[in-house]
Amino acid sequence: MTTNQSQAKLGIIAGGGELPTLIIDACIAAGRPYFVLGLSDFVQPDLLPEEPGAVIRLGEVGKGFDHLKKNGVKEVVMAGRVGRPSLLKLKPDLKTTKMLARIGIQALGDDGLLAAVIEEIEGEGFCMVGVDDILSNLLAKAGPLGEFEPDNTGWVDIARGCEVVRALGGADVGQAAIVQQGIVLGVEAAEGTDALIDRCRHLNVGGPGGVLIKLRKPGQDHRADLPTVGARTVESAAAGGLAGVAVEANGVLVIHSDVMIQKANAAGIFVVGIDPTEFERIAIRE
């Protein structure tokens, strides 16, 4: 992202984690104007370089649009972890209620809901962009990201994991799975990757450790909910006895890759960027 004072003002809808801060830092470095709209219960102000310009509940879509328009926002990016609340906790305002009524059963799946949110944002006159449009350097690169690489057992587990996660993603369920020696120990649902790793720790079958496979859902809109890994993922994988982590090259965001790689090297586990469409070839790799 190059410095350009004439760039459109960016509205950052901020959830949890470090992604909102990285986007703010990129805007500051580029001289780009921005406005931070925090989501209460999710945004972590202690991780941000400054207080959000405004904070709303997830169900206050109308109020959020008012803040964005009032502050001259032209482009919008969604960044950071956001848990999915129940309708009771959502307490939707009129705008949110109308949106949910319009999308109906689509709201049952994350992709359908996020697609509806993007459509709603763009229907209000904003241009929706993805985190990777602003921080393209965060996308995982192909090949080993550290000192270690999978052995043949690891590659077979990766192939099996790709098959499983692509099926999960096609059903709009999750973005990750753990496979050990061809056995699927667990798949990711609403609990998140760290909880998946912790749950599978007790299912270890012995012998070579398993592999965490994390992919983008087939056909997933890159502007919403790209899967993310970082140092914490590697720490959890190591603590869970895994042999390594495989992520989709150009489809998964890597937060602070240098720190993540240092931790992977220190723990003796691999992190590798893969093309999930090649999983059949991966399975017979020597």
Is the domain of 78 the same as that of 123?
Answer: yes
Q: Given 134, 155, 182, which residue is the final one in a domain? A: 134
Is the domain of 219 the same as that of 103?
Answer: no
In a domain, residue 4? The reply is no
The number of helices, as runs of H, and strands, as runs of E, in the chain is 11, 13
Is the domain of 130 the same as that of 188?
Answer: no
Sign of CA dihedral 32, 37, 43, 49: positive
Taking the C-alpha atoms of residue 199 and residue 36, their distance in angstroms, rounded to an integer, is 35
In angstroms, what is the C-alpha Rg of the chain?
20
In a domain, residue 32? The reply is yes
In a domain, residue 174? The reply is yes
CATH number, domain with residue 147: 3.40.140.80
Q: Given 110, 134, 158, which residue is the final one in a domain? A: 134
Task: Name the pTM for this structure.
Answer: 0.84
Is the domain of 123 the same as that of 147?
Answer: no
* SS3 (DSSP) at 142: coil
Is the domain of 73 the same as that of 152?
Answer: no
Is the domain of 47 the same as that of 160?
Answer: no
Is the domain of 228 the same as that of 190?
Answer: yes
Task: Say if CB 122 and CB 128 are below 8 A apart.
Answer: yes
Is the domain of 80 the same as that of 57?
Answer: yes
Determine the average pLDDT of the residues in 24-29. Answer: 95
In a domain, residue 159? The reply is yes
DSSP code, position 32: -
224-279 pLDDT, tens digit per residue, is: 778 999 999 999 999 999 999 999 999 999 999 999 999 999 999 999 999 998 86
Distance spanning both ends of the chain, measured CA to CA: 40
pLDDT for residue 77 is more than 90: yes
Determine the average pLDDT of the residues in 129-147. Answer: 95
| Average pLDDT, rounded, for the chain | 86
Is the domain of 168 the same as that of 220?
Answer: yes
In a domain, residue 3? The reply is no
Tokens of 132: 């990777």
In a domain, residue 59? The reply is yes
Taking the C-alpha atoms of residue 138 and residue 131, their distance in angstroms, rounded to an integer, is 9
* SS3 (DSSP) at 55: strand
Please name the residue that has the structure tokens 């319009």: 102
Is the domain of 65 the same as that of 145?
Answer: no
pLDDT at 286: 44
H or E element at residue 224: none
Taking the C-alpha atoms of residue 168 and residue 188, their distance in angstroms, rounded to an integer, is 9
In a domain, residue 22? The reply is yes
Taking the C-alpha atoms of residue 249 and residue 252, their distance in angstroms, rounded to an integer, is 6
The percentage of the chain sitting over the pLDDT mark of 90, rounded to a whole number, equals 60
Count of CB atoms situated within 10 Å of the CB of 85:
14
Is the domain of 207 the same as that of 125?
Answer: no
Q: How does residue 53 score in pLDDT terms, banded at 50, 70 and 90?
A: very high
**Structurally, how many domains does the chain consist of?**
2
148-158 pLDDT, tens digit per residue, is: 999 999 999 99
In a domain, residue 220? The reply is yes
Is the domain of 149 the same as that of 250?
Answer: yes
Determine the average pLDDT of the residues in 174-187. Answer: 93
Taking the C-alpha atoms of residue 114 and residue 220, their distance in angstroms, rounded to an integer, is 10
Q: Given 117, 134, 151, which residue is the final one in a domain? A: 134
* SS3 (DSSP) at 13: strand
3 state SS for 87-98: HHHHCCCHHHHH
Closest to 11 measured CA to CA, from 35, 27, 43? 35
Q: Are strands 228-229 and 244-248 parallel, antiparallel or unpaired?
A: unpaired
* SS3 (DSSP) at 216: coil
pLDDT at 112: 61
Q: How does residue 5 score in pLDDT terms, banded at 50, 70 and 90?
A: very low
Residue 147 one-letter amino acid: E
188-206 pLDDT, tens digit per residue, is: 877 788 899 999 988 888 8
Count of CB atoms situated within 10 Å of the CB of 193:
22
pLDDT for residue 71 is more than 80: yes
Taking the C-alpha atoms of residue 25 and residue 31, their distance in angstroms, rounded to an integer, is 10
CATH number, domain with residue 44: 3.40.50.20
Q: Could you tell me the residue range of the domain that residue 263 belongs to? A: 139-283
Determine the average pLDDT of the residues in 27-34. Answer: 95
